Amino acid sequence: MTLAIAVTPDFRVAGHFAKAPGFAIYDASGALVETLDNDANASGCQQKKKMMARFRQLGVSRVVLKNIGERSLARLLGAGIQVDSVRGRATVSEVLAGAVSVSTLTDASQGRPCKPKSSSHKCCGSHSHDNKIISGGQAKGDAKLKRLSLSL
């Protein structure tokens, strides 16, 4: 089983799946396989699809997070990925040790309701996002991601 954990730069479970700065990928023995920057919050719908494709390539079968929207949850569940939600603050070390309680999400309705889109926004077709958070070619949170390091 391959596990993906939505993480902050200091390797805590991130507050929201789509807004997580990155993902830490672990194999069945708990060894770190890879860390992935999450560009989904900077690049919109296409980047979320790329993240799902990368999860499939890595064989991710379980995701641990705090919160997730209905649509993202539906995508993960539709791909056969188990989604577990932690309550409160938790570190990656605590998750790997099984020291935090999790709730397994089984239906998209357990995710947070999605905010209504404007009528001009038709996800996930051919479109552009005018409200990008990119400044000077780099997303605001990118500099912090370079400091990701696992200390178990």
For residue 47, CA distances in Å to 38, 43, 95, 106, 125 come to 8, 6, 26, 24, 12
Q: What is the reported pLDDT for 145?
A: 39
Is residue 22 within 8 A of residue 5, CB to CB? The reply is no
Residue 98 belongs to some domain of the structure: yes
Q: What is the reported pLDDT for 46?
A: 75
Number of folded domains that form the chain: 1
Interior angle at CA 108, CA 104 and CA 110, nearest 5:
55
Is residue 108 within 8 A of residue 102, CB to CB? The reply is no
pLDDT at 108 over 60: yes
User: pTM of the full predicted structure?
Assistant: 0.73
CATH number, domain with residue 40: 3.30.420.130
Question: Across all residues in the chain, what is the average pLDDT?
Answer: 79
What domain range is 132 assigned to? 2-109+120-145
Residues 42-79 have pLDDT tens digits of 556 777 788 889 999 999 999 999 999 999 999 999 99
Q: What is the reported pLDDT for 69?
A: 92
Interior angle at CA 122, CA 65 and CA 48, nearest 5:
30
Is residue 150 within 8 A of residue 24, CB to CB? The reply is yes
Is residue 18 within 8 A of residue 40, CB to CB? The reply is yes
Q: What is the reported pLDDT for 85?
A: 97
